[in-house]
Structure 1
Amino acid sequence: MESPTRKIIHIDMDAFYASVEQRDDPSLKGKPLAVGHGARRGVVAAASYEARRFGVRSAMPSTTALRLCPQLVFVPPRFEVYRAVSRQIHAIFADYTDLIEPLSLDEAYLDVTANRRGLASATDTAKEIRARILAETGLTASAGISYNKFIAKLASDQKKPNGQFVVAPERGEAFVRSLPIGRFYGVGAVTEAKMKRLGIHTGEDLHRQSLEFLVAQFGKSGPWFHGIARGQDPRLVNPDRVRKSSGSETTFDQDHVAPGPIEAGVLEMADDVWAWCEKTGARARTVTVKVKWADFQQTTRSRSLPAAIADQETLRAVSLALVRSVYPPRCGIRLVGVTLSNFDQAVALKDEQLGLALDAAPVPAFVPDLARAPQYA
């Protein structure tokens, strides 16, 4: 029997952190706003659409953001508030499907193929979800609707903010072929640069490449690139997506070479990670310490233990030993981070996740097993 075409919605909140701040403080509405710290070594965590018009983006140094937009207003992040709003949004999702795959606090995939609410189409479902989000939280969301996750995520960017876009199965391949390669989810800066060196600038260029060529150039990712250029993505919406790592990092107010402040920063980050472990019950075996130098080069040191780390003091001790392995510092240290990975048990990605980005999911070879169905959109 042929499988029905899946109906996938990708919901992405519009400038989520910044929009929450503008909602809660009406004096910030209409102003270029950055969530983060405006100190010399601060980083933008999120930017309002007013700020984005000046080129301000998340992960940008605060000094750069202020040069682009001198009138930029900084507000400190309130992650507990963002988590609470995210829980409201996910409660709305749960009225429409059990198949919800969170990507972060502000975006998720929903598989609404089963049509729990009896709505006429996936388009109507997305409209109703977005209307409820606005009514219940005062925030806007954008949506992409399509027959697989890859295209649904691309589609959600088409009508931002506060819009939605449908790519039906018969239009999927043409839609992908029309886009610049940098828009493709899973194509990072390094891969994009390599593709452009090979003359691959658009989905159309990628579509012209043979599977053999793509495997030769990109290894096990070759079949994935070959498939998505044809609008194909077999990945299911996975409500039990496993979290691969949890980490925390801090940028110092000034570069340090003395052990005291460096190690204090590492211990603070280790304590942040352990607090998450205590909250979620997660335990892991591998500790990684990240160091970013004054020249922006990075060094990482990792250690895997025979068994999962069972207490905070062990995590602290391993983290200190790892950062001490880079002594004496070759130059000033501007940032340190601690990450846990190699979890003993699968840890689902829940609403505690605070990352602004996630590693792309594994890219399996495509198996074309989906048939078109009527009333898709």
Structure 2
Amino acid sequence: MSNCIIRLDNYEGQYYPGDPIIGKVICSFNTSKNIRVAVPAAQVQPKHHQSQSNHDAADPESAAQFPSPEPDASSSPSGRAATSTVDSSAGSVASVNSNEPSDKYPSGQIGSGRHEYPFTFQLSHHLPSTYQGHYGGVTFTLKVKVDIPFKFDFTDSMQITVASPVNFNLIKDKLQLKPICYSTDKTVCCWCCASGPITMEVHLEKEAFVVGEVAKLRVDIDNMSNERVESVLVNLIMKIKSKVSASTDRGKSNRELLAINSYTGVAAHSQRSYDLNLEIPQSAQVPNFDQCKLFSQETKLEVTAVIPECLTNMKAVSYVTLGHIPIDGFSENQGDFLMPTDFSL
């Protein structure tokens, strides 16, 4: 049986932006074949797939959202089945003719047997991470096609994983690296009678952390009301938004609780200060959506003073940036960078 397959030197198929992809195309023919192949014989083909409801068809002009080079990107905010595909093959991530001479690839009459054709090319230094979420994903696919005139072509494809760590050195000017304070207050009322205010201040040393790092914060609560503060909660929550297209803000979001800590509260007419350490989990999957306009993520650190009965809780929210590579190298608290996994939970 005749076929063609892709084999990578990196058998795991895991790469970082800027890495070379080295492999070979293996063609096995049971009879001689007349091959018509234009180099490249294998390439990473950029496509944009978008699944949405029948009455929300994709706009072909706005569907391809990555400047060349680009990966596959898919988003399905509606969760219903109708699919439109836009093939923006004008710019590939890379092609086999980037580093190999054209005479290495087959054309004309090829005899029966096994034939191997090596390829190598370089990934761009600016790529988003491989990502698969509940409403869409970003994938990278390596493809090969053996073009046989007037007959069925031989094809093969293979998905690779691109791990694109968030490097704080590249976005230093966008990070909040100085101490910052958030405050909120509330006047507690009982049967239309004010019993006194509750004030909460949250002090952060910065708002940018790498996975595995310990975030240090101080919480000051001044409770002058007749009600007690039952507890204090510190949550780290990541929200990933998947959009229908870059031209609209319409889409859906899913949230993931990365970390939660709970502390005892504050009695009525008393004060308390908390010096807290919140560890950013080393297992936290932080996608890098560089150059990707269909997906975005934000992470918030939320401090909540829980007030019992029917009263509304107090919240102070800080939007923090999570990454993998700290400024000017490594820190003692930095965790290992993990390859992307499924975010669809």
TM-score bracket relative to the smaller structure:
under 0.3
> Which structure has the highest helix share of the two?
1
Per the normalisation by structure 2, the TM-score is: 0.22
> Which structure has the highest strand share of the two?
2
